[in-house]
């Protein structure tokens, strides 16, 4: 046979057609009879008297001795070679042929139909298509019978002598199914054939059980179709990479046979969890990270966040250090919500400001949040969860924590409580809350629901965050400062922040509000910065900001010697100018006693 080569072994091959696939096929091809010397317990049969009742391994010495007695043995020599072992008990195995039931892969073009339909399925990652195609191409007929006392019985009735299936088998299937549906699986054992067929003396029930992969492979019919309607196609099948050989394939083959279509639109494959050294987690190695332990110590959402933030397409590394970093990531997102919620406690629907009337910075952040929503929803649709959570986290850290929330603290804390300037900011915070809580819900489910239930701004909309829809209204670009101009403004702000930080490190400055910022820039930059007018220093979080036209860009930071307002902490010459409020600036007086300051840009 083709399995015998000149490169390995002696060239003299022992062939046992009942104990190996290659042996069986070559003997079948050459009309050599199959002799099965083992019974169903893998012990030698009684007709082999000197080894009767022995397992194959223990019989080896006796067989060798018998060969020696008959002078039929040329040489005996022990040598090491690979040999199949039980994965659970680690004991040696022996293959033996038994009568089984098969589903043909070629009759009715089952395998051909499967290969055609897998091309219409979305495979994540894309290499899943090549993997299942290669497995289907070389797949043998499917053995669906098992010799077990548990499981779904194969309800066949066969002739005692020739093993032929009863001629009324199709009708019998329906009758047996009705009995089992009423009385349970064990009804098959109690069922008496004389109640169903007249020639019951010539026939027997089979005692085989169905392959469990057939059980799981028909969930598209037994579960999905029963719940969602006939011939429903699931949006997603999700499992490990080993299931291209298992569930993905058994589901595909049964669905092709029954419906002519694949049972799924998308198949997503994930890797396995390994430790920091890339080793498979096992109790014997002591490197198992218990999900329940993570849940108990860090919370369920930390576990969910770790899963979502890991690229599932390859092996996923889990360790205490990685989970600690995940906790830090979670806290940044949660703290963002705490800040937003804390500043919406006095905000109602009738306080909202129309978009066109909002302050320019507030318009900018709403548009950024809507872009985030579009990007994240696209990533969710593509099952790129690690990129989705990365975008959400980066938005909380950069656009919000690094820019917007840092700048608007002054407006939230010092402007008149019901002023347009403050309400404009709260309108944006309210929209941020609504967008981001929905975006985190698929991953940080418990946190999202906790936020929803504790916020009156949210729970008046729906009973749960999971019963809501996304607001997919278009981005409104109506603004006097376009996106490229904002990008340049924030680049300049970053440069200012670095210069201020250098001054603080040299102990020349206590905080950014103690600074006077002088920016020298070209005419293009000056034109952009001048759009902010006298509100530029609010954006830079300084007490004063000046700009001048120069060919080369540079920043000078000076320490202000003006008195400090005890309310807003800005340094300004107006502090102490009134007897009624000797410790605060004129801006704070306006926000306390008058109508409040007016803002347009920051």
Lowest mean pLDDT among 120-124, 162-166, 315-319: 315-319
Same domain, 388 and 412: yes
DSSP 402: I
- Domain match, 266 and 278 both: no
pLDDT of residue 551: 86
Tell me, yes or no, whether 355 lies in a domain: yes
Going along 125-228, which residue ranges are E strands? 142-143, 145-146, 157-159, 203-205, 209-210
233, pLDDT greater than 90: yes
pLDDT at 43 > cutoff 70: yes
Let me know whether 447 and 350 are in one domain. Answer: yes
What pLDDT is recorded for position 95?
86
Indicate whether 239 and 387 sit together in one domain: no
Shared domain check, 122 and 204 = yes
pLDDT at 388: 96
Q: Which of 489, 488, 514 is nearest to 500 (CA)?
A: 514
- Does 599 map to a domain? no
CA-to-CA distance for 377 and 391, rounded, in angstroms? 11
170 lies in some domain: yes
**What pLDDT is recorded for position 452?**
97
310 inside domain: yes
CA distance linking residue 184 with residue 306, whole number of Å:
42
Write the DSSP symbol of residue 87. Answer: T
Backbone φ and ψ for 520, nearest 5 degrees, come out as -105, 125
Please state the pTM of the whole predicted model: 0.78
- The CATH number of the domain holding residue 578 is 1.10.730.20
Strand partners, 102: 143
The confidence score (pLDDT) of residue 418 equals: 93
Alpha-carbon span 366 to 355, nearest angstrom? 9
Considering the domain boundaries, does residue 580 fall inside one? yes
User: In the prediction, which pLDDT does 40 show?
Assistant: 75
Predicted pLDDT of residue 172: 96
Q: What is the pLDDT of residues 59-93, one digit of tens each?
A: 889 999 999 999 998 888 888 888 889 888 888 88
The CA–CA distances, whole Å, from 557 to 487, 512, 526 equal: 22, 10, 18
Residues 124 and 257 in one domain: yes
Tell whether 208 and 254 lie within a shared domain: yes
Mean confidence (pLDDT) of the chain: 91
Contact 448, 441 (CB under 8 A): yes
- What sign does the CA torsion over 87, 89, 92, 96 have? negative
* Token digits of residue 473: 């209204």
CATH number of the domain enclosing 250: 3.40.50.620
Judge whether residue 1 has pLDDT over 70. no
DSSP, collapsed to helix, strand or coil, labels residue 594 as coil
pLDDT of 509 reads 93
Number of domains making up the chain: 4
Phi, psi angle pair for 288, to nearest 5° = -80, 130
The string over 421-436, giving b where at least 16 C-beta atoms fall within 10 Å of a residue's C-beta and e elsewhere, is bbbbbbbbbbbbbbbb
Question: Virtual CA dihedral for 255, 259, 261, 265, nearest 10 degrees?
Answer: -70
Q: DSSP for 40-66?
A: TTSBB-TTSGGGTT-BHHHHHHHHHHH
Give mean pLDDT, residues 176-200. 93
User: Residue 41 — pLDDT band, cuts 50, 70, 90?
Assistant: confident
- Bridge partners of 209? 146, 153
Instruction: Tell me what percent of the residues of the chain surpass a pLDDT of 70.
Output: 99
Rounded Cα–Cα distance for residues 28 and 17 (Å): 8
Nearest to 147 by CA among 188, 207, 187: 207
Residue 325 token pair = 């970093």
Q: What's the confidence (pLDDT) of residue 88?
A: 84
Domain that holds residue 383: 343-467
pLDDT, tens digit, for every residue of 452-501?
A: 999 999 999 999 999 999 988 777 777 889 999 999 999 999 999 999 99
Q: How far apart are CA 425 and CA 422, in angstroms?
A: 5
Closest CA to 391 of 372, 371, 378, 374: 372
Task: Give the Cβ contact number of residue 251 at 10 Å.
Answer: 24
Q: Please report whether residue 478 resides in a domain.
A: no
pLDDT number for residue 118: 95
| Same-domain check for residues 349 and 262 | no
pLDDT for residue 10 is more than 70 = no
Whole-number Å distance between alpha carbons of 425 and 534: 19
Which of residues 443, 467, 491 is at a domain's end? Answer: 467
Say if CB 539 and CB 532 are below 8 A apart: yes
Per-residue pLDDT of 397-409, as tens digits, reads 999 999 999 999 9
pLDDT of residue 128: 93
Within a domain: 52? no
Note the pLDDT tens digit of each residue in 512-570: 999 999 999 999 999 999 999 999 999 999 999 999 999 889 999 999 999 999 999 99
Q: Are 113 and 261 in the same domain?
A: yes
Return all residues near 563 (Cβ < 8 A) that are at least 6 apart. 571, 572, 573, 575, 576
Q: Are 136 and 236 part of one and the same domain?
A: yes
Q: Residue 11 pLDDT > 70, yes or no?
A: no
State CA 420 to chain mean position distance.
43
Q: What's the rounded Cα separation, in Å, for the pair 427 and 595?
A: 20
Residues 262 and 284 in one domain: no
- The tokens 């930059």 sit on which residue? 525
User: What was the pLDDT predicted at 36?
Assistant: 83
Residue 445 sits in a domain whose CATH number is 1.10.730.10
Judge whether 169 lies within some domain. yes
pLDDT at 150 over 90: no
One domain for residues 134 and 266: yes
Q: Which of 295, 323, 351 is the last residue of a domain?
A: 323
Which of 261, 288, 323 is the last residue in one of the domains? 323
Residue 421: is its pLDDT beyond 90? yes
């Amino acid at each position: 046979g083709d399995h015998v080569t000149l490169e390995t072994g002696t060239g003299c091959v022992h062939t046992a057609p009942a104990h190996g696939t290659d042996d069986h096929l070559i003997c079948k091809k050459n009309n050599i009879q199959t002799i099965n010397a083992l019974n169903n317990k893998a012990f030698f049969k009684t007709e082999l008297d000197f080894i009767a009742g022995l397992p194959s391994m223990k019989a080896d010495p006796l067989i060798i001795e018998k060969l020696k007695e008959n002078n039929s043995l040329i040489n005996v020599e022990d040598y090491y070679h690979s040999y199949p072992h039980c994965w659970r008990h680690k004991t040696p195995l022996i293959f033996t042929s038994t009568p089984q039931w098969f589903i043909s892969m070629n009759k009715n073009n089952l395998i051909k139909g499967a290969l055609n339909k897998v091309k219409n399925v979305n495979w994540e990652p894309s290499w899943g298509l090549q993997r299942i195609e290669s497995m289907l191409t070389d797949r043998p007929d499917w053995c669906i019978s098992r010799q077990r006392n548990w499981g779904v019985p194969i309800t066949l009735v066969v002739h005692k002598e020739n093993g032929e299936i009863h001629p009324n088998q199709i009708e019998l299937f329906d009758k047996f199914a009705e009995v089992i549906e009423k009385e349970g699986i064990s009804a098959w054992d109690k069922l008496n054939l004389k109640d169903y067929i007249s020639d019951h003396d010539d026939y027997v029930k089979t005692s085989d059980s169905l392959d469990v992969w057939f059980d799981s492979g028909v969930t598209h019919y037994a579960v999905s179709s029963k719940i969602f309607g006939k011939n429903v196609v699931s949006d997603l099948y999700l499992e490990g990479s080993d299931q291209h050989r298992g569930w993905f394939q058994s589901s595909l083959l049964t669905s092709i046979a029954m419906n002519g279509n694949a049972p799924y639109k998308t198949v997503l494959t994930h890797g396995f969890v390994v430790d920091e050294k890339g080793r498979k987690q096992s109790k014997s190695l002591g490197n198992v990270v218990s999900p329940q332990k993570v849940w108990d110590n860090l919370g369920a959402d930390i576990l969910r966040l770790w899963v979502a933030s890991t690229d599932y397409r390859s092996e996923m590394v889990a360790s205490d250090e990685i989970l600690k970093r995940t906790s830090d990531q979670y806290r940044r997102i949660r703290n963002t919500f705490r800040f937003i919620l804390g500043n919406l406690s006095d905000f109602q629907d009738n306080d909202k400001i129309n978009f066109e009337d909002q302050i320019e910075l507030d318009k900018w952040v709403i548009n950024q949040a809507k872009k985030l929503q579009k990007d994240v929803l696209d990533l969710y649709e593509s099952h790129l969860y690690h990129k989705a959570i990365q975008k959400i986290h980066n938005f909380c850290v950069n656009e919000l924590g690094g820019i917007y929330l840092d700048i608007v603290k002054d407006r939230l804390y010092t402007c008149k409580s019901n002023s347009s300037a403050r309400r404009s900011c709260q309108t944006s915070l309210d929209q941020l809350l609504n967008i981001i809580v929905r975006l985190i819900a698929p991953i940080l489910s418990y946190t999202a629901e906790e936020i929803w239930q504790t916020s009156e701004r949210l729970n008046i909309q729906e009973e749960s965050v999971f019963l809501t829809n996304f607001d997919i209204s278009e981005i409104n670009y109506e603004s006097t400062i376009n996106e490229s101009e904002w990008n340049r403004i924030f680049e300049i702000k970053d440069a200012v922040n670095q210069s201020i930080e250098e001054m603080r490190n040299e102990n020349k400055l206590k905080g950014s509000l103690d600074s006077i910022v002088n920016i020298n820039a070209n005419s293009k930059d000056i034109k952009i910065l001048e759009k902010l007018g006298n509100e530029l220093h609010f954006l830079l979080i300084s007490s004063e900001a000046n700009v001048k036209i120069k060919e080369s860009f540079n920043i000078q930071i000076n320490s202000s010697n003006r008195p400090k307002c005890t309310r807003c902490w800005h340094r300004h010459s107006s502090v102490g100018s009134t007897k009624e409020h000797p410790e605060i600036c004129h801006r704070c007086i306006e926000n306390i006693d008058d109508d409040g300051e007016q803002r347009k840009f920051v």
